[in-house]
C-alpha cells in the first residue's frame, strides 16, 4: 500500500515540475517584458500610431494575435515540454538593446522598432529555453512583421512601374514619352505617384504568403519559391494595373480613368491577384493548412532528461541587462541646456555674387523640424542661384537632417521627377552629392544637396546617421544641417550644374558659416 502511494506521488512529480516551470517562466517573461514596454512606451506608441495612421501598415495590429494563434496551434506539443532558463540568451538581449540604443541615438524609429522586438524575442528565449523557442521559431520571428518597414521601396517601385508601363505601351503601339515617373501619351500626362508604387499591396502580400508557407509547406524549396512569387507577382501586377489605367484613359479620352484607378487600386484587382496566388500555392501544399505533425525530438530533449535548475540570480541579471540600454539613454543622451538661437541675418555665403533682397520665395523646401532655415537667392551675370540651409541645434525625433518628411518638393507646386547623385569639384565638399530634379509646370530645377553632421560633410544619409550616433553616444557636437544649392534650367540640366559649381567655387568656408548659424542666446 505504501509502495503504491509512493509510485503515484512519483508519477505526479514531473507534471507538478512542468506546471511550476511554466508558471515561473511565464511570470518572469511577463515581468521583464512589462518593464521593457514601460521604459519604451514612446516606441510602442509610435509604432501603433504608424499602424493606425498609415494604411500600408494597418496589418501591424494583426501580427501579435496571429502569432499567439500560431503558438496555440502547437499547444499539444508544448504541454509535453518543460521551460528551461537560457543564460546565453542574455547576450542577444544585450545586442538587441544596443540596436535600440543606436536607433535612439540616430533618431531612427525603424531601428528602435527592430531593437524592441529583438529584445522581446530574446527575453522569450531566456525564459523558456532553446527547445521551446526552436519549436516556436516562426511565431516569434513573425513578430518582426509588426515593424513598419517598406517606405524605402517606394522610389524604385515608382521607377519600375513607370518603365514597365512604358514598355507595354510601346509594345501595343501607343506613342509615349517618359520623363522619370511622368508618362506622356498623346491625350494625357500621367504620374506614377507614391500611392501608385504598389508598396502597400507588396508588404501585405509578403505577410500573407509567409504565413501561408508556414502553415502549408514543410519542404524548404517550396518556401523559397512561394516567397519569391509573393515578392515578384505584386510588383508585376502593379505594373499591369498602371498600364491598364493608362490604356483605359487613352481609349476613353480620360473620361473614366480616375474612377477606374480608385476602384482597381482599392481592393478588386489586388485581392484577385492575392487569391489566385494562394490558390496556386495550395495546389502544392505538403499538408492541410495548419495541421502540424508533432515532432518527438524537442519533446524528448526537453522532457525526457533532467532540466537545468532555475536560478533567480541569473533572472536578476536578465533584469539588469534589460534595463541597461534604456537607462543609458535616459542618463547620458540628454539635449543641450540652451536651445534658443539668437537669430539675425547671416553673412553672405558668396560675397562675389549679389545677394537679392528677400521676397516671396517661389521654392520652399519642406524641413519643418529645423531650428533655423536660411533661403537666399544670389545672382551673377545671367545666373541665379538659391542657397538653402536647414540647421539643427541638436537632432531629435522629427527634427533631423535625415528624415523621411524632409523634401525639396511639396508635391503640389513642385514635384519630384528624378533622384540620383552628381559629382562636384570642390576641395572641402563631398565628391558626390545628392541630385534632385524637380518640376513646376514648364520650369525645371536642379537641386544639389548634402549634410553636415558632427563637423563633417557627407552626402550619404547612412553616414550622416552614423555621425549623429557617434555624436549622441559620445557627447560631442550635436549640431547638424542640410545644405542645398539650386538652379533652374530649360532643357539641359548641365547648364544648372555649371552655374551651381561656379557659385560654390566662390563660396566662403562653409563650416564656420554653419557654426555661426547655431549661435544661441545667453
**Mean pLDDT, residues 204-222 taken together:** 91
Residue 303 vs residue 166, higher pLDDT: 166
Residue 306 vs residue 373, higher pLDDT: 373
Please give the share of the chain, as a percent, with pLDDT higher than 70.
89
- H/E run at residue 487: strand 480-489
pLDDT at 299: 44
Strand segments, DSSP code E, in 281-411 are: 354-355, 372-380, 383-392
**Mean pLDDT, residues 416-437 taken together:** 90
pTM more than 0.85: no
User: Contact 471/335 with Cβ under 8 angstroms?
Assistant: no
**Mean pLDDT, residues 65-91 taken together:** 92
pLDDT at 522: 43
**Mean pLDDT, residues 199-209 taken together:** 89
Least confident stretch, 169-183, 280-294, 375-389, 449-463? 280-294
Q: Kindly state the cell numbers that stand for 437.
A: 530634379
pLDDT category of residue 176 using cuts at 50, 70 and 90: confident
* pLDDT above 60: residue 294: no
pLDDT category of residue 298 using cuts at 50, 70 and 90: very low
CB atoms within 10 A of CB 514: 21
User: Contact 81/308 with Cβ under 8 angstroms?
Assistant: no
Residue 402 CA to residue 41 CA, distance in Å, equals: 24
pLDDT at 10: 41
* pLDDT above 70: residue 290: no
Residue 389 CA to residue 374 CA, distance in Å, equals: 5
26-35, 160-169, 300-309, 471-480: which is most confident: 26-35
User: Contact 379/353 with Cβ under 8 angstroms?
Assistant: yes
Residue 459 DSSP class: S
Least confident stretch, 189-198, 273-282, 390-399? 189-198
pLDDT category of residue 47 using cuts at 50, 70 and 90: very high
Residue 424 vs residue 260, higher pLDDT: 424
pLDDT category of residue 300 using cuts at 50, 70 and 90: very low
Residue 44 CA to residue 30 CA, distance in Å, equals: 16
* pLDDT above 60: residue 205: yes
Phi, psi of 262, deg, nearest 5: -65, -40
pLDDT at 305: 46
pLDDT at 308: 62
pLDDT category of residue 9 using cuts at 50, 70 and 90: very low
Q: What is the mean pLDDT of the chain?
A: 85
Residue 399 vs residue 94, higher pLDDT: 94
**Mean pLDDT, residues 55-73 taken together:** 93
pLDDT at 412: 84
**Mean pLDDT, residues 408-426 taken together:** 88
pLDDT at 257: 55
pLDDT at 266: 52
Residue 145 CA to residue 153 CA, distance in Å, equals: 16
Strand partners, 435: 420, 448
**Mean pLDDT, residues 49-62 taken together:** 91
pLDDT at 273: 84
Residue 12 CA to residue 9 CA, distance in Å, equals: 5
**Mean pLDDT, residues 113-133 taken together:** 96
pLDDT category of residue 20 using cuts at 50, 70 and 90: confident
What do you get for the CA distance between the two ends of the chain, in Å?
90
pLDDT at 348: 87
pLDDT at 256: 58
pLDDT at 201: 85
Residue 142 CA to residue 128 CA, distance in Å, equals: 18
Q: Domain segments of the chain: what residues?
A: 2-149+295-332, 152-199+219-260+273-283, 354-517
User: Residue 370's Cα: distance from chain center in Å?
Assistant: 22
pLDDT at 14: 72
pLDDT at 3: 52
- HSE-up of 202 (CA within 13 Å, CB side)? 24
- Find, among 517, 505, 479, the residue nearest to 376 by Cα: 517
Give every CB contact of residue 17 below 8 A, 6+ residues apart in sequence: 82, 307
* pLDDT above 60: residue 114: yes
**Mean pLDDT, residues 280-297 taken together:** 71
Number of H helices, E strands in the chain: 18, 11
With cell 504541454, the residue in question is 79
pLDDT at 353: 93
Amino acid at each position: 500500500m505504501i509502495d503504491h502511494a509512493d509510485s503515484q506521488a512519483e508519477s505526479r512529480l514531473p507534471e507538478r515540475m512542468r506546471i511550476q516551470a511554466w508558471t515561473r517562466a511565464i511570470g518572469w517573461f511577463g515581468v521583464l517584458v512589462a518593464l521593457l514596454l514601460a521604459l519604451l512606451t514612446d516606441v510602442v506608441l509610435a509604432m501603433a500610431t504608424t499602424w493606425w495612421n498609415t494604411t500600408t501598415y494597418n496589418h501591424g495590429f494583426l501580427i501579435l494575435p496571429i502569432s499567439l494563434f500560431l503558438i496555440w496551434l502547437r499547444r499539444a506539443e508544448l504541454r509535453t515540454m518543460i521551460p528551461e532558463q537560457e543564460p546565453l540568451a542574455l547576450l542577444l538581449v544585450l545586442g538587441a538593446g544596443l540596436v535600440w540604443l543606436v536607433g535612439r541615438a540616430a533618431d531612427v524609429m525603424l531601428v528602435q522598432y527592430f531593437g524592441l522586438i529583438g529584445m522581446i524575442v530574446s527575453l522569450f528565449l531566456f525564459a523558456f529555453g532553446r527547445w521551446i523557442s526552436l519549436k516556436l521559431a516562426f511565431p516569434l520571428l513573425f513578430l518582426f512583421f509588426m515593424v513598419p518597414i517598406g517606405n524605402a521601396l517606394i522610389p524604385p517601385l515608382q521607377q519600375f512601374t513607370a518603365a514597365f508601363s512604358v514598355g507595354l505601351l510601346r509594345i501595343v503601339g501607343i506613342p509615349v514619352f517618359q520623363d522619370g515617373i511622368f508618362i506622356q501619351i498623346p491625350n494625357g500626362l500621367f504620374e506614377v505617384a507614391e500611392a501608385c508604387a504598389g508598396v502597400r499591396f507588396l508588404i501585405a502580400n509578403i505577410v500573407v504568403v509567409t504565413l501561408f508557407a508556414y502553415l502549408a509547406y514543410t519542404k524548404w524549396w517550396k518556401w523559397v519559391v512561394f516567397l519569391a512569387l509573393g515578392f515578384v507577382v505584386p510588383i508585376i501586377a502593379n505594373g499591369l494595373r498602371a498600364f491598364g489605367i493608362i490604356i483605359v484613359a487613352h481609349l476613353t479620352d480620360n473620361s473614366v480613368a480616375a474612377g477606374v484607378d480608385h476602384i482597381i487600386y482599392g481592393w478588386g484587382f489586388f485581392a484577385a491577384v492575392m487569391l489566385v496566388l494562394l490558390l496556386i500555392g495550395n495546389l502544392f501544399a505538403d499538408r492541410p493548412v495548419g495541421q502540424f505533425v508533432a515532432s518527438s525530438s524537442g519533446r524528448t530533449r526537453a522532457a525526457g532528461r533532467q532540466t537545468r535548475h532555475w536560478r533567480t540570480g541569473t533572472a536578476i541579471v536578465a533584469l539588469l541587462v534589460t534595463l541597461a540600454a534604456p537607462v543609458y539613454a535616459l542618463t547620458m543622451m540628454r539635449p543641450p541646456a540652451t536651445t534658443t538661437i539668437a537669430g539675425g541675418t547671416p553673412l553672405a555665403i558668396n560675397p562675389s555674387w549679389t545677394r537679392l533682397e528677400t521676397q516671396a520665395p517661389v521654392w520652399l523646401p519642406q524641413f519643418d523640424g529645423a531650428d533655423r532655415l536660411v533661403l537666399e537667392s544670389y545672382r551673377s551675370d545671367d545666373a541665379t542661384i538659391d542657397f538653402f540651409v536647414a540647421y539643427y541645434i541638436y537632432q531629435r525625433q522629427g527634427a533631423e537632417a535625415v528624415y523621411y518628411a524632409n523634401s525639396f518638393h511639396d508635391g503640389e507646386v513642385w514635384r519630384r521627377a528624378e533622384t540620383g547623385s552628381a559629382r562636384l569639384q570642390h576641395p572641402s565638399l563631398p565628391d558626390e552629392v545628392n541630385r534632385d530634379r524637380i518640376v513646376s509646370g514648364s520650369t525645371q530645377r536642379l537641386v544639389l544637396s548634402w549634410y553636415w553632421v558632427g563637423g563633417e560633410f557627407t552626402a550619404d544619409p547612412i553616414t550622416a546617421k552614423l555621425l549623429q550616433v557617434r555624436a549622441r553616444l559620445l557627447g560631442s557636437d550635436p549640431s547638424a544641417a542640410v545644405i542645398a544649392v539650386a538652379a533652374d534650367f530649360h532643357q539641359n540640366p548641365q547648364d544648372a550644374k555649371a552655374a551651381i559649381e561656379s557659385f560654390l567655387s566662390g563660396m566662403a568656408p562653409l563650416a564656420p558659416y554653419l557654426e555661426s548659424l547655431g549661435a544661441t542666446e545667453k
